[in-house]
Structures are given as structure tokens and as C-alpha cells.
């Protein structure tokens, strides 16, 4: 059900359209039209029956509210849809009406229709993810030498670069896209008839299935998968993991947007991120959407995983549990992906504030760098003890660590004044950050 108040915030128009009632009906009707063409092609039904059936396979011809009311009694949407489709075909060609839905079952129409919806949705989602990936790649390259604080357990740890942070996001997103592509590739035709044997078609079942798969441009599975829902849960899991990746980006950016940190900000625009009472506010709107999706997605994925356990050849209840949960999951993840792309594409980075935050500890953030350099002269444990004591003094006396270390003649003799200067330049202690960025950017470029 669409919500004009909240859908613009939490999803995209494309995702809403992909899972709209009209799209659901049209996908099932596309299956029915393709089935008629496939069966005629292999001689199971008369070629003359096809035009009337295909002409009636237009969702605009049907009343979704009426179908929904009948589905409440029938147990699924396909049953009343096939009934109304048959009646409409009969008005045009009574003989053709005999061959509507020939040899198929309601789950064939609903599952194959869902697969058609999902494949189109995933293609659209990946287009947004590519835009986000490209923006992250540009950000990583542009800020490969922009030093900032690396935080562990929310505390200052060591220097890093903002480029590496963006590369970490990009690397995870690349794996998300691979998972989605793999899941899309396993979404296949569903066509098994009442019990997954195509018994109603006699010996023609495999030929019809092959022709139907070609008609719908869907992979032909080894056999029907009515009660084997791993294809659905694989996609749901990939969407859930993607939600976590997007949530991580949202968490990091929102933390950097805090006024006490003020290192990066979402794009600013009239009406964006304001407050109903505080004129000065610049709230992280996109981050809120990313985080809300990361909160909501696990429950939806969990429900779909629970629904995977189904009974015998066709399940009871588990299949029904997918019908709303999977579209809901897809819609919110699409919304988060769109928000992330817009946010990263227009993010404001305050490199000066990042550098200033590195200096908040008066050099303590580079204590490890000094310890490693000093350890080459006096051993790691001795160096660690010496620098730890100097760090305690610097913190207690609110003095720069370098000044305290310079008062230790043995340290100055070992490292020299210029050596201390080099050690207290954050960009000299970012390790393999640029190497890691290059590797991620190379992988990104390879998969474009």
C-alpha cells in the first residue's frame, strides 16, 4: 500500500511502481500471456487461442479492489485473476477461454510474476548503487591524503585518511553488488503445475517449460521450486546485508556531522534537515533514512528466513508470508540507496576541522608512532614504558606530547628533533592507506 506522506522519504518512485498492485497483476498476466504463446508454439494449445488470451492480459482491464476481496476468500491473488481473465477471454473467443492457464497452478503465476518484478527492481537498484559507488570512488581518490582521526570504540586511535574511510565503504558496497547480481542470476522461472510434476501437460511439460522460459527471458531451473525458497531468502539476505552497509555509512556520516566533530556534512538545500523550532539546525536527514532501514531490514529478513521452511511440495503460510515482507524490504532498501547516493554525491568535507581534531590530544594520537621508532633503538617494551610515562605527564599537565618527549635527553638523542617532527606529522603515520585505496579503486574500475 502506498503512503503519500512517508513513501517519498523512505522509498523511491521506481521501487513503489515495481511493487505496486498494478505491477503485481501485470507480471502475473505477462506469465499467462507467455504461457499461451509457449504452449501454442509446442502444439499443446491451438495457435488461434493465443490472440484473445494475450489481448486480455492487460492489468488495466481488471479491478484490483475486486480481485483483492476475492483473494481474501480464495487464499491468493492468482485464483480470482485467472477466473476474471478466463471470463474476459471468453467474451472475445469462447474456444480460446478453454486454454487460459492451461496446465499451470496459481503459484506458477505468482512466483514467476514476482521474479519478473524482482529482476526489474534489482536492475534499477543496481543503477543507484553504481552511482553511489562512483561517488565513493571519487571521494576516496580526492581525499586519499586528507588526514583525520581513526576512531576505535568511539575514541581517538591513530591517524587515517578520509579517503580510506570512503574506500572502506566502497569495498563493502562492491561485495553487496556482487551478492545482488548472484541472487538475481538465480531468480528463475516457476512452472510446475499443481504438484511440481507438470502432469497435466503429459509428456509436453519440459518443452512447454523451455519455451516459456524463453518467452519470459528467464533462466530455466532444473525443476520447479515451489517449496524451495532459497532463491527468495538469498535475495532477501543480500538486501539485508546491503541495508547494513548503508546503515554503516549513515552512522559514520551522522557522527561526523555532530557539531563537536564537524568533519563532514550532508548536502545543504532549502527545506532540507531543518527543525520546526530551531532555525540553526542542519539535521542528517539521509543518515536517518539509512539508519532506519538498517533497523527495519533485519526483522523483514528474519521473517523471510523463517518462511523458508515449507511443507512437502507446496507450503502453507510460509509462501504467504513472503508476499508483503519482500516488497517492503525491497522498497526501503531502494530508498536508502537513493538517499546514500545523493548524500555522498554532495557531501561537504571540512579537511581543516579533520586536521584540527587530530590535534585535540596534543600529539597523544601519535604515541604509537614514537614508540615504534624508539623501539628500534631501545626495544619495544622499554620504548612503550618510556612513551606511556611521557603521555601520562602530557595529559596531566595539558601539554603537547612532543614537548614532554623533548625534555628526555635519551629520546632526543635517539630520534633527534627532526625525527620527532616527522613522527608528529599525521600523514607520516597512515601506513598502507594509499595502497589500500588504490586496490579498492582498481577493483571498482574493473567491475564497472
> Taking the chain, what is the end-to-end CA distance rounded to the nearest angstrom?
35
Contact by Cβ (8 Å): 393, 400: no
Sign, CA torsion 217/222/226/232: negative
Is residue 20 flagged as an active site residue? no
DSSP string, 135-180: HHHHHHHHTTT-EEEEEETTEEEEEEEHHHHHHHHHHHHHHHHHHH
> Which is nearest to 241 in space by CA: 183, 311, 156, 317?
183
The rounded radius of gyration (Å) of the Cα atoms in the chain is: 30
Backbone angles phi, psi at 156, to 5 degrees: -60, 130
Distances (CA, A) of 271 to 4, 50, 332: 18, 54, 22
Contact by Cβ (8 Å): 333, 293: yes
Among 314, 331, 338, 386, which one carries the catalytic annotation? 314
Is residue 314 flagged as an active site residue? yes
Among 142, 268, 272, 275, which one carries the catalytic annotation? 275
Q: What angle do CA 395, 396, 399 make, to 5 degrees?
A: 55
- Strand stretches in 13-57, DSSP E: none
Instruction: List the catalytic residues.
Output: 275, 314
Amino acid at each position: 500500500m502506498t503512503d503519500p506522506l512517508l513513501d517519498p522519504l523512505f522509498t523511491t518512485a521506481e521501487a513503489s511502481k515495481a511493487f505496486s498492485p498494478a505491477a503485481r497483476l501485470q507480471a502475473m498476466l505477462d506469465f499467462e500471456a507467455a504461457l499461451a504463446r509457449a504452449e501454442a508454439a509446442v502444439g499443446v494449445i491451438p495457435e488461434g487461442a493465443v490472440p484473445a488470451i494475450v489481448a486480455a492480459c492487460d492489468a488495466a482491464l481488471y479491478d484490483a479492489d475486486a480481485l483483492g476481496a476475492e483473494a481474501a476468500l480464495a487464499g491468493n491473488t492468482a485464483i480470482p485473476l485467472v477466473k476474471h481473465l478466463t471470463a474476459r477471454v471468453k467474451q472475445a473467443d469462447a474456444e480460446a477461454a478453454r486454454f487460459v492457464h492451461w496446465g499451470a497452478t496459481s503459484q506458477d503465476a505468482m512466483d514467476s510474476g514476482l521474479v519478473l518484478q524482482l529482476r526489474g527492481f534489482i536492475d534499477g537498484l543496481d543503477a543507484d548503487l553504481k552511482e553511489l559507488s562512483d561517488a565513493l570512488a571519487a571521494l576516496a581518490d580526492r581525499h586519499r591524503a586528507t588526514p583525520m582521526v581513526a576512531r576505535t570504540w568511539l575514541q581517538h586511535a591513530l591517524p587515517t585518511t578520509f579517503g580510506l574511510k570512503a574506500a572502506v565503504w566502497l569495498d563493502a558496497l562492491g561485495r553487496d553488488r556482487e551478492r545482488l547480481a548472484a541472487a538475481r542470476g538465480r531468480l528463475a522461472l516457476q512452472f510446475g503445475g499443481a504438484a511440481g510434476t507438470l502432469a497435466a501437460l503429459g509428456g509436453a511439460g519440459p518443452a512447454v517449460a523451455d519455451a516459456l522460459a524463453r518467452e519470459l527471458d528467464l533462466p530455466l531451473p532444473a525443476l520447479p521450486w515451489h517449496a524451495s525458497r532459497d532463491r527468495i531468502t538469498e535475495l532477501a539476505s543480500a538486501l539485508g546485508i546491503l541495508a547494513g552497509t548503508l546503515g554503516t555509512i549513515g552512522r559514520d556520516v551522522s557522527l561526523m556531522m555532530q557539531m563537536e566533530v564537524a568533519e563532514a556534512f550532508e548536502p545543504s538545500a532549502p527545506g532540507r534537515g531543518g527543525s520546526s523550532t530551531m532555525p540553526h539546525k542542519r539535521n542528517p536527514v539521509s543518515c536517518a533514512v539509512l539508519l532506519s532501514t538498517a533497523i527495519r531490514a533485519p526483522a523483514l529478513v528474519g521473517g523471510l528466513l523463517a518462511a523458508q521452511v515449507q511443507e512437502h511440495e507446496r507450503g502453507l503460510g510460509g509462501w504467504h508470508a513472503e508476499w508483503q515482507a519482500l516488497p517492503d524490504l525491497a522498497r526501503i532498501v531502494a530508498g536508502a540507496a537513493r538517499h546514500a547516493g545523493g548524500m555522498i554525491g554532495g557531501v561537504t568535507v571540512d579537511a581543516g576541522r579533520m586536521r584540527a581534531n587530530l590535534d585535540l590530544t596534543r600529539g597523544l594520537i601519535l604515541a604509537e608512532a614514537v614508540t615504534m621508532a624508539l623501539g628500534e633503538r631501545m626495544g619495544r617494551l622499554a620504548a612503550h614504558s618510556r612513551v606511556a610515562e611521557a603521555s601520562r605527564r602530557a595529559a596531566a599537565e595539558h601539554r603537547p606530547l612532543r614537548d614532554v618527549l623533548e625534555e628526555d635527553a635519551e629520546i632526543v638523542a635517539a630520534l633527534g628533533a627532526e625525527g620527532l617532527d616527522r613522527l608528529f606529522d599525521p600523514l607520516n603515520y597512515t601506513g598502507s592507506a594509499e595502497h589500500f585505496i588504490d586496490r579498492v579503486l582498481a577493483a571498482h574500475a574493473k567491475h564497472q
